Structures are given as C-alpha cells and as structure tokens.
Chain A
Amino acid sequence: MGGTDAKDILGLPKTPLHEKKARPQKQSHRKPDGISREVHALTGGVAPPLTPSIDVTHLKRPPPPHEKVAWQWLPIYSSARKDDLQLYRWVRVVNGVPPTGDYSFAKYNKSVDILKYTDDEYENHLTDPVWIKEETDQLFELCERFDLRFTVIADRFPLSRTLEELKDRYYSVTRALLRARAQSPSDLANHPLMKEPYDMTRHRERKRALSMVLSQSRHQEKKDAEILAEAKRITEIRLAARRAADLDVSGNENIGLDKADGGPGCSVSPSSNSQLPATAVAPSTLTMADYASTLASLRMVYALTGGVAPLMPSIDVTHLKRPPPPDEKVAWQWLPVKSSARKDDLQLYHWVRVVNDVPPTGDYSFAKYNKSVDVLKYTDDEYENHLTDPVWTKEETDQLFELCERFDLRFTVIADRFPLSRTVEELKDRYYSVTRALLRARAQSPAELANHPLIKEPYDMTRDRERKRALSMVLSQSRHQEKKDAEILAEAKRITEMRLAARRAAEPDVPANENIGSVSPSSNSQLPATAVAPSTLTMADYASTLASLRMLHVYLRTYGLEQMVQAASSAVGLRTIKRVEQTLQDLGVNLKPKVPTKTVCDEHLELRKEILTLLNLQKQLQYKESEGSSHREGTYAAMPDTPKDRVFASEPFSFGAERPIKKEPKRKGPGRQSDTPSPAHKRPRKLKASDL
C-alpha cells in the first residue's frame, strides 16, 4: 500500500475502508484456527469444515471447580453379558463416586424373538419338500444364535444353501407358524411378516440386478442413462398426447355425434359428450404414443450405431436367405480351375458349387480383373530420334520399360526394383515423357493425340513433388498446428462474410440516401454504381475496427474514435486527410471533440465521411468538366484511369456566404483555372487532350 507518508502528511485516514470488496475473495485462503497450515492446504484451502456435532465449547470448558475428577480402573457390570466374565476399564470418577447404571452400551444388545415350534407343529404345518426337519432345526438354532444375521448364518450353515433360500425357509416357517397360532386373522394382518411376505425370487432378482448395475462399466452407465432419459421422454410424450387428445377429441366429437345420431340435431347432450371423449381418448392417444415410442426407439437404435445412418447393403439380404429352389440339387466338389489370367500351366483346385451335377462353365470369375497396361515399345531408331535424354541412358530406359511392363505401371514397386536409385517421380516423369514423345512421333495427325489422356494432362514432375510434400506436411501436423490452421481458416471465412454482409448492407442504404437535394434519377443510377464499390470496403474496414475494439474489452472513447478515423483514412491519401482536416477547421469543428460522448463521436465520424464524399464529388466534377471540354475540342480522349485522389490541388472552399462553384484559389499557388495543372504534378490527361 503506497502513500502512507502522503496520507500522514495530508492527514487522511490510513486504513482504507474500501477493502470490503476484496474480502470475499480472500476468505478461502485464510485457514481456520485450530488446524495446521499443511492440513488446511490438503483440503484445498477452500472447504469449510462441517459443523461439528460435538459442541466444541462444551469440550473446551474447564471442569467446574467443585468437581474433583479422577479416573479409576474399575470392573464393569453389563447386563448384556450372560457369562461371568469380569472385565475392567477406565472409569471417570467424580468426587469419589463411581458412575451408576448399566454399562452404557448394553442397550444395544437387542435380540430377535425367534418362534420355536414343536414337533407336532412341524408335522402339521411346516413340512417342505426341500427341507428336512433337521435342517430346519439347525436353521432356527442359528437364527436364534445370530439374531437373524443371515450372512453369518449362511456361512455357518452346514449344508451349502444360498442366503435367499435360508431366508425363504425361515420366513415361510415363521409365517406358517403365525397363521397356525393366530386366534383370528385380524391379529395377523398387521404383522410385518404378513403384510410384506418375503419373496425369494424377487429378492434374487433384485440382488442380481443390483450387482449388474454396480459392476457396469462407465460406457454402460451412459447407455443406461440414455435409455432412461428416452423412457422418460416417451412417457412425457404420452402424457402430452393424452392431454392434446383430450382437447381435440372433445372438439371433434360434435361432428361425429351428429352423423351418428342424425336425429337430435346439432346440439348434443353434454353427458354423451363426456362419455365419448373418455373412450376416444384412449385409442387415439395410444396410437400417438405408439408412434412416438416407435420413433423414440428408432432414435435409440440410431444413437447406438453412433448416430450414423447405415449404408444400404449392396448385397440383397433377402436373396441370401432364400432357400434354394427345391428342384435344384446342390453339391460342392473339389475341381480344377482354369483361368485365362494364368499364362503358365499351374493347375489349381478349388471348391465349386455344382448344381444338378453340372459344373459351372465360363472363365474363372476373377480372371476379368487381370488387366494390364499397354506399355509402348520403342525401337532403337525411335530411341535415337526422339527419346534421348541427358540424364537417362538407353539401358536405364529399357530397364524402366521392362519393369513397367512387368508390373503394370505400379511405380512404387518399380521404384523399389529399379537397380539404380531413382525417385518415384523421376521414374514416372521419364516413362510419361518417353510415351508422350513416342505418341507424338507415331501419330498420323495431331487430332488423334489431342484426346489421348497422356497428352491432354501431361505429367508434371515438379507439381507432383510439391503436391506430395504439401500432403505430407498437412498429414504430419501436430494437433496444435491443426487447431491453428482451423482458426486461421475460420477467421478468414469470418472476414469474407463480414465483407459480404457489409456489401449487402451498404447496397440498400445507398439508393435510399439519394434523396438529398432532389437530384434527377438518371444521375442517381450512375453515381451509386460507382459509389457502392468503394463504400463497401469502408464498411468492412469499420466492421473490422469495431471488432478489434471489442477485443480490447475496454477502451477510451477518444481512442476508439481515433481508430475509426484511421480506418476511414487508411485508404485515402495523406493529402486527402489533410484536406478533410482543413475542411473541418473551416467548418468550425474541433478536430478532436472536446466532449466525446457516443453521439458526438458518431456525428464526428459521419461528418468526416461526408467530407470525404464531398471531396470525391469535387474531383468527379472536375473530371467531368475536363472530359466535357476535351469532347468539345472534337477528340475522343481515351479514358485513362481516374486518379481519384490526385487532383489539381483544388483548394478547400470556404463555407462562408459565398459558395463558389469553380474553385477559388485560397491557399495553394496563384490564381488559375480549374483545368490547368499546377506544375508540381505530373501531366494529367488534360494536356494530352489539348496536345492533340
């Protein structure tokens, strides 16, 4: 904090009252008391501790002074223990009086009332095909002992029974006993075992489903979530459909009823109305809901495939599944194959589908793929005459052609086999140039050649090389570079779009503006044509300046104005800028507004733009005048490029009472007519016209 000295001197308060705003940010970093710094940092430094359930103040309270606390090693007496085991522990003794009462944890020793059955009861009610009496007895003993902790019971049970089976047996026995012993059915109705009987299959299912859910992979979890969402959507659709149908049907039923009844006329009794919608709703909503659910399930399936529609299978599936016609007898035989593709006599065999003992005729079905290229062969004479090359010897060329013939122009293989080390591009280049030269030499007329693909698009080695280099560059880009490239492309796209938009936006504006000064429509149509093109560029410039200002997130309005002014003047010459400023001064306007509010700045910009327009028009006027005068002299002056910003140093005109049409000399040079160039500039076309 700086300035404490100054504050001292000036007597200003030292403690800033303004810190409050900063505080909320700080609080997470301040560690609470009572825990060490390291521990607090471990919690991430932010999480406040849960409110302790123990009242801390209670613990920290010093003991009341009149109490004398001592700790003694005393025996405990617990009602929970049935045996006589004597245990000792530390006991807090206050004023020499040990605490009375039971061992404080004894109250947790609950036990379950297990029903005990007599043998008679067993015979009468409890027999079971799967369970014998001994087992049931053992089960009950264990239940008693372990207080229905079935996991332990299942572990201890001598025979291997599942937990569900044990539960089932226990609960069904107990239920049967209760029923048998009950005086009246109403006693039983409220017994929990009766109200909700144990259902073994249900529990088994439940456990199985639970274990499945718990062992799901993350992928499956997502799928399940989707399906659930889908189901929810379907139910919502049904609800909505039902509600919609309610509204609809009640409206539609008037028509139906009229037709059906025919008698009572248009007014239908409300009671029948209320009936029909009820019945009509159900089917209509069902259809809608069915439709919706079919859609939904289709969507689900679609989503399962990753959301890409399957391609139409090229094999007609129905065709495959069709059973063979009954009259055909199909057998498969191991037969020799004759292929036209093979030049040697190697005899190969394969399984052939023989129908009605007639083996298939025709060539081996894959023989048609054995295409080869017609590689031209040249004679030695031809070589001497047309095909010599500084880099390639005849032997090399011969070898190349041999390989080409042999490998059907598979240049990667050829390059590999070529005895000398040449790149693929070089080989290709040589082959194609030789072939082209041969074709040209052998052709009867040029017309033949013109359509030959090798002539139409000749192989260009350098281009091919470049292409491969660029491709490898693109493919080997790191992800970072890919992103950069994508960004740049997107940026370029945005800029072009902005320009397009600006152009389109500018166009409707310009015709609307031509009402100033009631100018005749013919001239209107001409001027906008010339004015639109440059104006769109300006709009795009403004747009990009605005965009760059936005990037700053904060800026001063004067700065913003400067940027916009610069954007506008970036495309015009320095002299024009000066003239604009001069004009502003003449008009009595500050070059930089003293009170730059938004409206003021916008007005300022508009004014500048209008001045530019004005200056432009001035130039145009002069041009037209010079054109006119040159025409009057009887020559058709060729139109050179209009140097719009180059003017005959036409002076700024005064905005006083006088509005001169011809420019009066004000500052630059002595008086002169508008069509005489000042000597400082290069010769304009005026001279040319007058020269001629």
Chain B
Amino acid sequence: MTSSSSSKKQAQDPPETSEPTLKSLRTKMTKSDEKKKLKDIEISVPLVYGNIASWLGKKASEYQSHKWTVYVRGATNEDISVVIKKVVFQLHSSFNNPTRVIEEPPFEVSESGWGEFEIAITLHFHSDVCDKPLSLYHHLKLYPEDESGPLTMKKPVVVEHYDEIVFPDPSESFLSRVQNHPALTFPRLPSGYNLPAPMQVDDNGKKKRGDTKDHSLGQWFTSFSEADELLQLAAARQQVQAHIAKLRRQISLLEGQNQTIKTGSDP
C-alpha cells in the first residue's frame, strides 16, 4: 500500500541566486576556474541571418514570382569578415549551382524564385579562429504571415533571426587580431594578461568595406536589442523569487506546526 514513486528520479532543487542579475552560473564557474586556467574567456560574435523577399509584381512569372536575398550580417552591421572567411549557402537543388560560396562581405545570395525552402548556411572561419565550420538553418520566407492580404511590391517580407557565435577558448593570435573590433564582443581579460599588439593590416584603401551599414536593403533590417528581453526576464525572475519566498515562509510555518503535533502525539 505504500505509494510508489512513478518511475522518475527525484526532482532537483537548484540553488537560488540572489546576486545581481548580471551574474550567472557561467560566470560563477569561470570565476572559480580563473584561478586555475588563464584562458576561460570567450569571444562572441552577434549575428543576424535571414532573408528579405519582395514580390515582383507585374514582372512576376510562374517560376519567378519573388526576388529574395538571404544573408548573414553582423548584428550591429559591422564587418564580420574579420572572423568569417567565407559563407556557403546551400540552396534548393532546383537552382543553378545550388552551392553558393560567398568569400567576401556582404555574405548574401540574391535570387529569384517562387518557392520557400530551407537554406543551410555554413560559416567558415579563418584558420586562426576555428577549423570547424558552423551551420545555421533558415527557412526562406516569401509570403507574408497574413495570407489573406494582397501581395504588394512596396513592403518586402523580412524574416531575421538573431544568434551569436561563441568561441569558448579563442587562441591568442585570434584575440590579438580582433581586439577592439566593433563586430564582436571582446571579453574582459583577467588582469595582467597581456595580448600582443595586433598587426596593422594596411589595406584600408584596397579592400572593400565589409560592413553592412549602407546596405541597399538596410532600411528593412531589424534592430535587435536585448533590453526588452532582459526586462522581461528580470520581471519574471522577481515574481518567481517573491513567490518562492512566500512558499518558504509557509513551509516553515507548517514545519513548526507539525513539530508541535508530533511531539504532542508521541507516547
């Protein structure tokens, strides 16, 4: 007659954290590890990837109803080619040369077509950054959410996703090369850790600018801000914490009650 727990293990009771919101498990581990390892720093590159599609209107044919551009760009429109060597877009097999290799910014492919499909975007990094490529997947969107409305040439359909590439243990050469570059978030180095000065790449005149600040489609770019999300999360956490406190109070009350009852009922 004893109740038996149903198959699953005991639930965890994770520790609460009362630190200011910016601290987290990751930093906690990092701080304790910092004494042991010097290199517990990570570099993150904020990206936005997605597509912009516009209807061709009168010129639309059966097989070419939309023209679209799929791209990867820095979230702040900075030049990500400092990290990314090339991007490979794998399009639908019905396209001519479905494997598009883009070796210089802006990393994008513009095409025209009629169908929506999944595009595999593979980011290849420079050799001092990382040998392994990273893959993202994006579903090409041509038609607006609101299916009932008429197609219009004026406003394109824009679908963008924000994500960040994380390099958990960057090499020294990488670190020194990209310090102070606006395209990525450089970590705060532990004190006393000196990086060699970055080599001056003296081809400012020759190379094209790699940032997308003046992109032709720039007006449609979404600007992602973490502020909203953070606010949301902070509010939620506050609520949860308050509730937890309340529950704890109740439990302690009951605890006290049970104790008295128990002592009372002992023979």
Contacts and interface: CB of A to CB of B under 8 A. Distances in A.
A606 B24 contact: yes
Contact of B14 (A19, A534, A659, A688): A534
Nearest to B18: A513
Tell me the interface secondary structure of chain A in the complex.
helix
Given A18-B104, A534-B10, A644-B10, A621 B251 contact: yes
A624 B255 contact: yes
A618 B2 CA distance: 22
A5 B109 CA distance: 13
B230 interface: yes
A572 B11 contact: yes
B138 interface: no
Interface in B221-240: 224-226, 228-230, 232-237, 239-240
Contacts of A640: 2-3
B50 to A, nearest CB: 13
A605 interface: yes
Nearest to B248: A519
A595 B225 contact: yes
Contacts of B243: 614, 655, 659
Contacts of B86: 18
Nearest to B81: A18
Interface stretch (B55-63, B147-155, B211-219, B257-265): B257-265
Interface string B9-29: 111111111100111111111
A290 to B, nearest CB: 38
Contacts of A598: 26, 44, 164, 185
Contacts, number: 321
B189 interface: no
A503 B25 CA distance: 14
A314 interface: no
Contacts of B132: 552-554
A590 B11 CA distance: 24
B44 A10 contact: no
Interface residues of B, number: 98
A661 interface: yes
B99 interface: yes
B189 to A, nearest CB: 16
B2 A603 contact: no
Interface string A497-528: 00001000110011011011111101100110
B11 A628 contact: no
B7 to A, nearest CB: 8
Nearest to B44: A598
Given A16-B103, A550-B168, A688-B2, A600 B230 contact: yes
Contacts of B127: 25
Given A607-B237, A621-B251, A631-B265, A602 B32 contact: no
B12 A571 contact: yes
B227 to A, nearest CB: 9
A228 interface: no
Interface stretch (A151-159, A163-171, A261-269, A538-546): A538-546
Contacts of B255: 522-523, 526, 624
A509 B31 CA distance: 14
Contacts of B237: 603, 606-607, 610
Contacts of B6: 643, 645-646, 681-682
A624 B2 contact: no
B252 to A, nearest CB: 3
A611 B236 CA distance: 10
A631 to B, nearest CB: 4
B29 A587 contact: no
Nearest to B169: A550
Nearest to B236: A587
B233 A595 contact: no
Contacts of A234: none
B11 A655 contact: no
Given A535-B12, A557-B166, A571-B12, A543 B29 contact: yes
A590 B229 contact: yes
Contacts of B9: 571-573, 645
A534 to B, nearest CB: 4
Contacts of A593: 229, 233
Given A10-B110, A554-B167, A612-B14, A595 B162 contact: yes
Contact of A517 (B136, B232, B249): B249
Interface string A227-271: 000000000000000000000000000000000000000000000
Contacts of A574: 8
Contacts of B242: 517
Nearest to A519: B248
A556 B136 contact: yes
Contact of A553 (B3, B169, B246, B250): B169
A612 B9 CA distance: 14
B11 A661 contact: no
Given A557-B166, A571-B12, A594-B229, A519 B236 contact: no
Contacts of A532: 15
Nearest to B110: A10
Contacts of B134: 554-556
B251 A620 contact: yes
B125 interface: yes
Contacts of A523: 248, 251-252, 255
Interface in A568-611: 568, 571-574, 576, 583-584, 587-590, 593-600, 602-607, 609-611
B230 A599 contact: yes
A594 B229 CA distance: 8
Interface in B141-191: 162-169, 185
Given A3-B97, A602-B23, A609-B17, 8 more contacts: A6-B111, A534-B10, A539-B25, A554-B132, A599-B24, A600-B226, A600-B233, A619-B11
Closest A-B pairs by Cβ, 9 of them = A517-B245, A602-B24, A523-B252, A643-B5, A18-B104, A573-B8, A587-B236, A631-B261, A557-B164
27 contacts: A5-B97, A10-B110, A18-B86, A505-B28, A509-B15, A509-B17, A510-B16, A516-B18, A523-B251, A527-B248, A535-B12, A537-B12, A554-B132, A556-B134, A557-B165, A573-B8, A595-B224, A603-B24, A603-B230, A603-B233, A603-B234, A605-B25, A607-B236, A612-B13, A621-B251, A682-B3, A688-B1
Interface of A: 1-3, 5-6, 10, 16-21, 25, 501, 505-506, 509-510, 512-513, 515-520, 522-523, 526-527, 530-532, 534-535, 537-539, 542-543, 546, 549-550, 552-558, 560, 568, 571-574, 576, 583-584, 587-590, 593-600, 602-607, 609-621, 624-625, 627-628, 631-632, 634, 636, 640-646, 655, 659, 661, 681-685, 688, 691
